[in-house]
Structure 1
Amino acid sequence: MQFIPSALLLLFAVTFFCIWLIERQRRQLLLFALSFLAFGVATFMQFALWPSDIGYNTIMTSTLYSAGPLLLVEGVLARSGRSMPRGEHAAWFAAIVGTLLCFYYVENDLQVRVYVLNLGMAFIFLSGVWKIRQQMRGGVLDRAVLWLLFGLAATFIARTLLTGSSVPKDNIPEFFQSDFWIWAQLTMSVLGVAMGLGLLVVASADVILALKAERDSDPLTGLLNRRGLQGRAPRLLALGRRRPLSIVACDIDSFKSINDRFGHAAGDAVLQTFARIVKAQMRAGDVAARTGGEEFVIVMKDAPVGDAFTLAERLRRMIADTRFAGLPADFAVTCSFGIAEFHGGEGLWDAIGRADKILYAAKRAGRNRTFAEGLQLPNAA
């Protein structure tokens, strides 16, 4: 029974490693596997009292116990594209292992070693919480990871402060009968399962969301595709019933001639640069999609037609002033815009259809211009 915590931890290590073999671009999965491996081997060595020499056992288990939380925090940071500086890793490791060895070889005090090791691991977890504190304003998964790490730290602190005094100073047999050891076995099992399952749920959700984003995104421009825009339709329609919602339809002028004269690589570069400019000018909450070859739609929330017209004109001028890779320096790329305001009760694609009609009126009027419902609308029919 005493090896159940070790077996659970090692089981999660194998699970995360197997998932990493499938999703190797997700470095955090390997780090989670190594963390659970470190904890699992350390608890096994401690429970089995192997090696039997207490000095060697202290060196090896303290090394693994220090590596476990550092690897776990590094995995949490890697999930958000960050990392802990190597110097900080070394400082935590040296402080914990060095202090433990000091309180064995210089002044033998098992109780101090218990406090140092457990509180040291807790503070490593808390340092990770501090580093990802901005995730409190993030999505559900981000907040879940933060609270998992915080809960782990809080449990280590509470367990140590409440039961640490039961640890003898230098009697190993009594240590294995202490309240601290009993609670350590229980909490290690519970925490191991909770943390392992929690991280597995987060990792699985990350993979599912990434696949969904890939399905809903245009691979060339990184904007939404038609399916992605359709998936956001219910939320956008709900917003449009309460606040002004403007639809901006855009078409790159004479795009076919760009492909014919300069090749499809140059055409792709134009699309990518156009998308980057759009993304840079969009407001928070606006949605942009590539709905066809050179056709784009921007949905602007809390924006009457006048505000959308201002954005479209800014984009139009920026595109005309941009020099695109693969095109002659004196070649100007232009685009046309049509803007319609969403009417309550209609569908999103109905509003996009009206914006398209206005867009093609702009193209018939000479291209490189913006027409908007109620502002400029000659020959829209």
Structure 2
Amino acid sequence: MQFIPSALLLLFAATFFCIWLLERQRQHLLLFSLAFLTISVATVAQLTLWPADIGYNTIVTASLYSAGPLLLVEGVLARSGKSMPLVEHAAWFAGIVGVLASFYYVQNDLQVRVYVLNFGMGCIFLSGVWKIRHLVRGSVIDRAMLWLLSGLALTFFARTMLTGGSVPTDNIEAFFESQFWVWAQFTMSVVGVAMGLALVVVASADVILALKAERDSDPLTGLLNRRGLQMRVPRLLALVKRKPIAIVACDIDRFKGINDRFGHAAGDAVLQTFAGIIKSKLRAGDIVARTGGEEFVIVMKDAPVGDAFLLAERLRRAIVDVRFDGLPADFAVTCSFGIAELHDGEGLWDAIGRADKILYAAKRAGRNRTFAEGVQLPNAA
């Protein structure tokens, strides 16, 4: 029975390792696996008193118990695109192991070692919480990760403060009979399983969301594709009842000629750079999708047609000034825009169709210009 917590931790280590084998670009899964494995080995070493020399055992278990939280925190940070500096890893590790060694070889006090180790592990988790505190404004999964790590840190402090007084100062056999050890095994089983299951759910959700994003995204530009835009239709139609929504249809002028003269690689570079410029100019909350070869649609929330016209003009002028990879330095890429308002009760694609007609009117008028409903619309037959 005493090895159940170790076995459960080992099971989660194997689980994360198997998921990592399927998703090797997600390095945080390997770190999760190593964290659970390290803690599992530490509990076995402590239970079996291996190495048998108490001093060596203290150093070995302290090293493993310190490495586990560091690996777990590094995994959580890696998932969020962050990391803990190597010098900070080394400081935590050396500090905990060094203090525990001194409280065996210099002043032997098992109770102090218990307090130092558990508070040290809790502080490592809290340092991770501090580094990902921005996730409090993230997705549900991100916030769950933040609170999971916070709760894990608090268990080390609460458990130790409530039961640490039961630990003897130098009697190892009495330690394994203490209230602290009983509760440590219990919480390790419960909290370890809860944390393991939660991380499995997070890992699974990450994979599912990534597959969904891949399905709904254009692989060349990273923008939404037609399907991705369609998935946002219900929310847009609900929003239009309260706020104006402008639909901006955009097309790169004479794009086929670019492909024919300079090759498809140059054309792809133009599309990628063009998409990047659009994303950099949009407001937070606006939506942009690539709906065809050189065709793009921008959905501007809470924006009347006049505001959309000003944005389109800024984009049009910005594109003219850009020099694209694969094209001669004196070759200017231009684009045209057509703008319509999404009306209450109208389908999104109907509004896009109206914006397209206005766009083609702009092209017939000479290209490299912006036409919009009620703003500028000559020759719009």
Which residues in structure 2 correspond to 1:290-301 (within 5 Å)? 290-301=290-301
Amino acid of the structure 2 residue aligned with 1:225: N
C-alpha distance in structure 2 between counterparts of 1:329 and 1:127, whole Å: 50
1:219 paired residue number: 219
Residue 63 of structure 1 aligns to a residue whose secondary structure is helix
* Alignment: residue pair count: 381
Amino acid of the structure 1 residue aligned with 2:224: L
1:324 paired residue number: 324
C-alpha distance in structure 1 between counterparts of 2:235 and 2:285, whole Å: 11
2:139 paired residue number: 139
**1:49 Cα offset (Å):** 2.2
Residue 241 of structure 2 aligns to a residue whose secondary structure is helix
1:154 paired residue number: 154
Amino acid of the structure 2 residue aligned with 1:18: C
After superposition, the C-alpha distances for 1:79-114 in whole angstroms (9 at most, x for unaligned) are: 011110000000000110000000011111000000
Question: What percentage of aligned pairs have identical amino acids?
Answer: 81
Q: Which stretches of structure 1, 4 residues or more, deviate above 6 A after TM superposition?
A: none
Q: Which structure 2 segments of 5+ residues have no match?
A: none
2:289 paired residue number: 289
Q: CA RMSD in A?
A: 0.8
**1:44 Cα offset (Å):** 1.2
Amino acid of the structure 2 residue aligned with 1:354: R
1:24 paired residue number: 24
1:229 paired residue number: 229
2:58 paired residue number: 58
Whether 1:113 aligns to 2:103 is no
Q: Which structure 1 segments of 5+ residues have no match?
A: none
1:378 paired residue number: 378
Which residues in structure 2 correspond to 1:274-285 (within 5 Å)? 274-285=274-285
2:181 paired residue number: 181
Amino acid of the structure 2 residue aligned with 1:159: R
1:73 paired residue number: 73
C-alpha distance in structure 1 between counterparts of 2:226 and 2:27, whole Å: 31
After superposition, the C-alpha distances for 1:195-246 in whole angstroms (9 at most, x for unaligned) are: 1001110011011111111111111111110011111111122121210100
C-alpha distance in structure 1 between counterparts of 2:234 and 2:282, whole Å: 20
Amino acid of the structure 2 residue aligned with 1:110: L
Amino acid of the structure 2 residue aligned with 1:270: V
1:360 paired residue number: 360
State the TM-score, normalizing by the size of structure 1: 0.99
Whether 1:83 aligns to 2:83 is yes
2:256 paired residue number: 256
2:94 paired residue number: 94
**1:173 Cα offset (Å):** 1.3
After superposition, the C-alpha distances for 1:139-174 in whole angstroms (9 at most, x for unaligned) are: 111101110100000011000000000101001111
After superposition, the C-alpha distances for 1:303-335 in whole angstroms (9 at most, x for unaligned) are: 000110000000011111111111112211111
